[in-house]
Structure 1
Amino acid sequence: MPEHQRSPRLSLRVFALAAAVTCVAGLGTAASAVASPPSPPPSHSKAYPGSVPPWAGSRTKTGNPLSNTTVEGEIYLNLRNLAGAKATADGVSTPGSASYGQYLTPQQWIDTYAPTQASFDATVNWLKSQGMAITGTPQSRLYVVFRGTVAQINAAFSTSEQNYSFDGQTLIGPASAPSVPAELGDAIQGISIDQGKLLTHPTNATPNSGEAAPAASKPIQPPLNVPCSDYWGQKTATLPEAYGTTSFPTNICGYTPAQLQGAYGISPAGTVNATAGAGQKVAIIDAYASPTIVQDTNTWSAASGVPQLAADQYQQIVPDSRMFLDKALCQEPSGWQGEQTLDVEAVHGMAPAANILYVGGNNCGGGLDLAMSTILDSHLANIVSNSYGNTGEALPANTLMGEQNIHLQAAAEGIGLYFSSGDSGDEVANLGYASPDFAASSPYVTAVGGTSLAVGQDGSYLFETGWGTARQRVVQDSTGQLVYAGSLPGPFRFGAGGGTSAVFAQPAYQVGTVPASLAQGHRVSPDVSSLADPYTGYRIGYSPITNDNVLKTGSFGFEGIGGTSLACPLTAAQMAVAQGSSGKVIGFANPAIYTAAAAGGAQRDVVPPAHEKAVAFSSTVSGNTYLVGMNHDSSLFTAPGYDDVTGVGSMTEGFAQQVAALH
C-alpha cells in the first residue's frame, strides 16, 4: 500500500471523529479556573474507586482545569466470563494442554466472552446523552473511547476533575471516585477519565539522549574526541585508569542487519538471510505515522545490505494526519517517528521477507487500544510488536484490568503480543518506588528486556551483558590532567525495565523458573531479552519531521539507536522467522518460552560478566566524554537462570525454533 493510501472506512471514521470533537468543544461551558463542586451521585449509582489514578492526591494537586478543556475518556466493560476467558487463553497457549494451539477466531471469542451488545449499546447511549463524543469503538465491544469537556465529565460521573503534577507533566484526573447509573454498573469494569494514559511513550534511547548543547558563551572544548566503532574493539580510546586498564573499546556506531542476523543465529556470521520470515506478517503499533516511512526504509535497506520493500510488503492503517490528537502530551508525531522507523527497520533487517503491517493510533492513549483492536478483531497478524509503555504501573487499577482483557483476546486467538519492558530500570527515579512498566507487566504479553551486545570483526557473537548504563564523565583537573568527575561506575543513566508487579498475580508458567524470593507470588518481567543498549545499538535511517503541524521532513540521515524499543521488534522478527521455517503459529509465547527454557533451551543465559565491561563515548551534542559501564541496571540484576533484566535469557533463533517446535 502506498505511504499515503488509507482505508476509506477509516478515513470516514476519522472525519466523523473531527466533527465529534469540535461538537464537544462547542458544548463546553465558558472557560473558568474555578472548579464547581461535583454533583452528588444519584442515590442509585455505582462508584468506581479503582478508577482514580494513584498520582491523583492532595500532595500533587496543582489547581483546577478550565471547564471547557476536552479530555479523552475510556470505559471498559466486563467480560461475560472472565474466568472462562483466562482458561481459554491459558489452554490454547500452554504446551501439554488438550486445547494447545486450538485458537479461537475473532468472532468465536466475541460471541463467547465479549460484553453483550445490549450492555455496550446502553453504555454508548448513556455517554451520548451526557454530551460526550464517541471517538472509537472496537468490534469486540471491550471498551468505548470518548471525549468530553471537564464540565461534562464532572456532571456525568459525579466527580471533580483537577490538575495534578506527575512525571514532569500537568495531568487532569478525578479527585474522587467516578460513578455511573446503577443500571449500567454491572456491565462496566472501569472508567478512565484521567490523562495518565497520554504519558505512554516510545521506549527508545540514543547515545546522545539527555545531552544538552553547551551555552554559546561556552563552546565545546572536549578533553577527547572518541570515534565510534563498526564492531566491538575496532577502535579504542585511552582514558584515565579504570578496572585495571587505560584502554577501552569505543561505542558502536550502530550494528547492521548482517551483524545482528549472525549474532542471533538467523544467518552465518557477517551475512544476510534475505528470505528469513517469508510467508509471515508482523504487525507494529505506535502512535501517529511517519510520512516518509517507505521511502526511508528503502533508502536504509539499500545502504544496509537487505532487499528493499517489495510491492505490498509494507501496509499501514493510519488516521488522517489532520486528526492526530493530544500531540503535546503524547510527545508529538516527531517524537514517535523515530520509534516507527526503528520498529519497521528492525523487523525488516531481521526478517527481510516478512510482510509488515503498521497500525497507528490517533494519539498515545485510547488510540493505541483502537489500533490493537483493529488487528485483533480481524486477526490481521499473529505477531504484534509494541515498543511503548507507561511509567511503571501508575495507572488506575480498573484501567490495568480493562487493558488485560484486550491481551486475553489476543492470547485466545493465537496472537502473540510483544511489549518492550522499558528503559528506566526499576522506575525509582521517576516514581519514588520500584515498579515494572505496564503493559509489559501483564501476564498475557511477552515482555522483552534488554542486553548490551558485542559483535566481532567477522560478525561473530562475542558476549552479552544486561543492559544497564552507568556513566562517569571524563574531565580535566586543575593541572590539565584527565580524571573522572566522580567515583565509578557513575550515576545510572538508563537500562532495561523489569521487576515484580504490584498488581498481577504470578502466572503458572513462571512458577519454578522465577525465584520465589523475587516473585513473592506476583508476575515478574521481562520474559526474554535482546539487544537494547544504544552504545552497542542499531543503525536506522530516516528523514526527521521538522514541523509537527504539517509533517514537513528534513534530509535523510542515519542514527545509532537502542532501548527495549529495539529489543522488542528484534524478538518479534525472530519469532516470525521461526514460524516461517516451522510452519507453526506460536501465539502467546510465554508458556512455551518457559517450558523450553526449563528443558535446557538454546537461549543465552545472560549472567554478570567476569570482568567489568565498559566503552568510551564522546557526545556529538555536548562534547562530553564518558566511560560507559555496562550491566549496572538500577536495583535490577542479571543472575544465572531467570533475572529481572533479561528474563530467561537472550533470544536466539535456535531458541525461537524450540518454542515453535512445542506446537
Structure 2
Amino acid sequence: MATPPSPNTAFPGAVPSWAKPANDQGAAAADTSVEGELFLPLRNPAGAKALAGEVSNPRSSMYQKSLSPAQWIARYSPTKADYANVVSFLKAKGMTITGTPDSRQYVVFRGSASEVNSVFGAQLHKYDFKGTTLVGPSKVPTLPKSIAAYVSGITVDQGAAKHPNYATPDSGLNATPRARSAAPQAKTAACSNYWGQNTTTIPEAYGKTKAPTFICGYTPKQIQSAYGKGTVVRAMPGNSGSHGHAPDGKGQTVAIIDAYASPTILADANTYSAAYGLPPMNSSNYRQIVPSPGEFRDEALCGFPSGWQPEQSLDVDAVHGTAPGAKILYVGGNNCNAGIDVALSKILDGKLANIVSNSYGNIGEAVSANYLFGQVNLELQAAGEGIGLYYSSGDSGDETINLGYTAPDFPASSPWVTAVGGTSLAVNRNGSYKFETGWGGILDQISNGAYTSPLPGNLYGGGAGGGTSAIFAQPDYQKGTVPSSLAKGMRVVPDISSLADPYTGYVVGISPINDDTTLATDPYTTETYGGTSLACPLTAGQMAVAQQVSGKVLGFANPAIYATAKARTTAFTDVVPQHEQPVLAYTSANSGNQYLLSMDLDSSLSTARGYDNVTGVGSMSYRFALAISQHRHPGGGGGNYGH
C-alpha cells in the first residue's frame, strides 16, 4: 500500500550539501542543544532587489536615494501578523526564542535535538565535515502547511558556523604554539620594520643567495603613507572636502561585527593608540553592543572567545589606524551562527553605521540554500538603506585544501557585498609604497643549509580567497571588467583587496585571553596579524575617509568601484605579477625553524593585469577618496545588475 503524502510542507533547501550519507556519524544525542532560524519571505522581493540596485548605481537617477530603516521595513519586511504567527508556533512547540530582529526577516530559536526532531521531522545526525563534527538534518525538515505559508526557509544545522579570517606567520606551519599564559617570545632579530631592512643568506633560490626577511608588523603610519593618504591631503587645498580637517574619517561611523567580546578591548586600543600616535578611544568614538559572558553560546563550535578576541583587536586597530577620526561601533554576536545575523540586524534596523566590516566567513559556499538566500535578503536591506557590507574573502585560496574542490567563500561570494581580497605589501624605509603582490605563499623549510623539498616547497602559508561562484550569476557591474574566462556567467570574488599577508603583516595590540571560562588575560603585548581579516577593516577605514572627503554615502559600493576602475583612474593599484619571483626569509618564533617564503602563489588563483581572482580590480588606496569626490558618476557601466 502506498504511503499517503505528508500533510506538511517540505523544505529541501534546508539540507546543507555536507549532510549526506557518506559523512553520517549517526544520530545526534537527544539533549544536544540546537540553534535554528526560520526565514520569512520579503514582501515584494523583486522591488527590494530593484531598489538595492538603483540606489547603488552611479548612473541611476535614484543613486544614493536610499530608504530609512523604518521605510524599508514598512515597504518590504514580512507583516507583523505573519511574524507573530511564526513566533507563536515556535513558542507553542517549546522552542526558546533567542532572536527577533525589528526587520522581522527571521526568528532565531533553540531547542534540544529531540525537540527539533519532533517539530521539524529533521532526524538530526552528526556529520563529519572535513574533520569537524557538525549536526544537521538527515531528513528534509517540514512544517505544517498553515505555518509554512509564512516561511521561506529553515536552518537546523551547524553548517553556518562562521570562522574569523585572521592569520599569523605560524598559521600554516603546524608549529607548537606558545602557551597563552607564557610570556610572548621576543621577535627574532631577523624581522624587518620595512622591506629589505634586514637580509639573510639562503640556499640558492630563483638565482639568489640572499633574501629580505619578513616584516615585524607594519604600523598605522606606514599603512597610511604607503596607501597614499598624503596624496589626498596634498590634493585638497584647505581640506575643503573634509570640512577643515585632514582626511581621517571624521564624521563617519564604521561598524565591526564579530562573535563574543574582548574584556580588554578599550584598554588595549588606548595602549596601542598611545604607542602609534593615534587619538585615544573613549565613549565619544568607540561604542559596543555585546552580550554578557553569561550569554555566550556554542563556544566550542565557534572556537571560544579566545579564538575571536584577536579578530576584534585586529579589526579595531585596523579601522582606527586607517581612519583615526572615525567612530567605531563594535557589535558582538552571542555565537558565530545566528548571533552574527542578530548583530547585523541591530546595525541595519537602526542604521547605526553605513560601513560594516565583516572579517569572517564560511568554508566555501557549503551552506544550505535556505540560509544563503536568507542572508541575501539581509544584504538587500543593507543596500536599500545605503549601507555598505564589506566581507573578507577568506584565507585558504580556492578552498581546495579544505573542500577538495574550488569555491569562493560565502558571504563574500554574494553579489550584494564587497568582497575584499588580499595582497602582500612592500613598504620602503621612508614609508612609501614599493610594490604589492597577490597574497599567496608556499613555504620551504631550510635545514642544514638546504631546502627540505623542491622549491617552492610543500607548506601552504595561506592565500587570499577568491574564485567563481557556483550559485550566483554574474552581476552587471562585473561585466566588461571580469574576464569571461574567469566568470563563465557567474559572480567572481574578490572585488578589491588590501594587505593580508601575515609575513608582511600589521602590528596589533592585545591582552590575550588565557582562560575561556573566566576570561582572564595575559599582559598587553603586540602581535603580528594578517589574513583577509586585516584587508577588510583596512578597506573599511579607507572607505570612511572616501565618504568624508566626498561628502557622499557610498552604500553598496561595488558599482562605484567597478565604474571607477573602468575609468582607468589611479584610484586602485593594479596588482600584477612581479618581474622576479618575490621571496621572504622567515624564522618561526615558535619552533625556531627557518623557511623561505615564495610569494604570489595562491592555489589555482593568480594575479594578472586588470581584474584577477586574488586582488579584484586592484589594491585599495586613499586615492579612491579623490576619485569619488571629483566624480559623482565615476563613468563606466552599472546597468541593471539589481534586476
Q: Deviations over 1:573-618 (max 9, x none)?
A: 0010011122110100001101110111321001111110010000
Is contact 1:274–1:352 with CA below 8 Å preserved after alignment? no
Is contact 1:226–1:250 with CA below 8 Å preserved after alignment? no
Is contact 2:362–2:410 with CA below 8 Å preserved after alignment? yes
Is contact 2:498–2:620 with CA below 8 Å preserved after alignment? yes
Gaps of 5+ in 1: 1-39, 217-223, 477-481
Aligned position for 1:627: 596
Is contact 1:589–1:659 with CA below 8 Å preserved after alignment? no
Residue 84 of structure 1 aligns with an amino acid whose one-letter code is G
Is contact 1:269–1:458 with CA below 8 Å preserved after alignment? no
Residue 612 of structure 2 aligns with an amino acid whose one-letter code is D
1:379 corresponds to 2:351: yes
Shift of 1:69: 1.1
**How many percent identity over aligned positions?**
58
SS in 1 for 2:58: coil
**How far apart in 2 are the matches of 1:444 and 1:414?**
12
Is contact 2:361–2:411 with CA below 8 Å preserved after alignment? yes
The more displaced of 652-661 and 546-555 is 652-661
Aligned position for 2:316: 344
Match of 1:331 among 288, 291, 303: 303
Residue 143 of structure 2 aligns with an amino acid whose one-letter code is V
Q: Deviations over 1:505-553 (max 9, x none)?
A: 1111111111111111111110000000000000011100011111111
1:57-68 maps to which residues of 2 (within 5 A)? 57-68=20-31
**How far apart in 1 are the matches of 2:356 and 2:177?**
43
1:54 corresponds to 2:17: yes
Residue 510 of structure 1 aligns with an amino acid whose one-letter code is Q
1:209 corresponds to 2:171: yes
1:109 corresponds to 2:81: no
**How far apart in 1 are the matches of 2:281 and 2:206?**
46
Aligned position for 1:8: none
Match of 2:54 among 81, 91, 94: 91
SS in 2 for 1:517: helix
Aligned position for 1:525: 493
**How far apart in 1 are the matches of 2:142 and 2:555?**
37
Residue 166 of structure 1 aligns with an amino acid whose one-letter code is F
Is contact 1:226–1:237 with CA below 8 Å preserved after alignment? no
**How far apart in 2 are the matches of 1:633 and 1:189?**
38
1:119 corresponds to 2:89: no
**How far apart in 2 are the matches of 1:470 and 1:649?**
22
**How far apart in 2 are the matches of 1:47 and 1:419?**
32
Is contact 1:258–1:269 with CA below 8 Å preserved after alignment? no
Aligned position for 1:490: 457
Shift of 1:638: 0.5
Match of 2:257 among 258, 266, 285: 285
1:662 corresponds to 2:632: yes
1:542 corresponds to 2:542: no
Residue 592 of structure 1 aligns with an amino acid whose one-letter code is A
Aligned position for 1:239: 202
1:584 corresponds to 2:552: yes
Query: Structure 2 length normalisation: TM-score?
Result: 0.92
Is contact 1:258–1:270 with CA below 8 Å preserved after alignment? no
Shift of 1:213: 5.1
Aligned position for 2:637: none
SS in 1 for 2:300: coil
1:639 corresponds to 2:608: yes
1:415 corresponds to 2:377: no
Match of 1:175 among 138, 141, 144: 138
Aligned position for 1:33: none
Match of 1:502 among 465, 470, 482: 470
Aligned position for 1:318: 290
Shift of 1:167: 3.0
Residue 262 of structure 1 aligns with an amino acid whose one-letter code is S
Is contact 2:67–2:386 with CA below 8 Å preserved after alignment? yes
Is contact 2:232–2:625 with CA below 8 Å preserved after alignment? no
Q: Deviations over 1:610-661 (max 9, x none)?
A: 1100100000101111100110000001111111000000011112432454
SS in 2 for 1:384: strand
Is contact 1:157–1:180 with CA below 8 Å preserved after alignment? yes
1:567 corresponds to 2:530: no
SS in 1 for 2:268: helix
Aligned position for 2:567: 599
Match of 1:398 among 370, 375, 390: 370
1:80 corresponds to 2:80: no
Q: Deviations over 1:89-142 (max 9, x none)?
A: 000000111211100010111111111112211111111111100001100001
Shift of 1:325: 0.2
**How far apart in 1 are the matches of 2:211 and 2:126?**
49
**How far apart in 2 are the matches of 1:504 and 1:487?**
39
Aligned position for 1:611: 580
Is contact 2:390–2:419 with CA below 8 Å preserved after alignment? yes
**How far apart in 1 are the matches of 2:113 and 2:473?**
35
Match of 1:650 among 619, 623, 626: 619
Is contact 1:531–1:566 with CA below 8 Å preserved after alignment? yes
Match of 1:132 among 72, 88, 95: 95
The more displaced of 354-363 and 273-282 is 273-282
Gaps of 5+ in 2: 179-186, 235-244, 634-643
Shift of 1:301: 1.1
Change (3 A) 1:214 1:159: closer
Query: Structure 1 length normalisation: TM-score?
Result: 0.90
Is contact 1:160–1:174 with CA below 8 Å preserved after alignment? yes
Aligned position for 2:33: 70
**How far apart in 1 are the matches of 2:232 and 2:632?**
27
Change (3 A) 1:417 1:289: same
Shift of 1:475: 1.0
**How far apart in 2 are the matches of 1:643 and 1:52?**
33
SS in 2 for 1:523: strand
Is contact 1:472–1:484 with CA below 8 Å preserved after alignment? yes
Is contact 1:158–1:178 with CA below 8 Å preserved after alignment? yes
1:557 corresponds to 2:525: yes
Is contact 1:543–1:556 with CA below 8 Å preserved after alignment? yes
SS in 2 for 1:252: coil
SS in 1 for 2:22: coil
**How far apart in 2 are the matches of 1:274 and 1:290?**
31
Residue 566 of structure 1 aligns with an amino acid whose one-letter code is L
Is contact 2:247–2:548 with CA below 8 Å preserved after alignment? no
Aligned position for 2:221: 258
**How far apart in 1 are the matches of 2:498 and 2:125?**
41
**How far apart in 2 are the matches of 1:437 and 1:403?**
14
Change (3 A) 1:163 1:41: farther
Shift of 1:417: 0.4
Aligned position for 2:151: 188
Change (3 A) 1:268 1:235: farther
Residue 161 of structure 1 aligns with an amino acid whose one-letter code is L
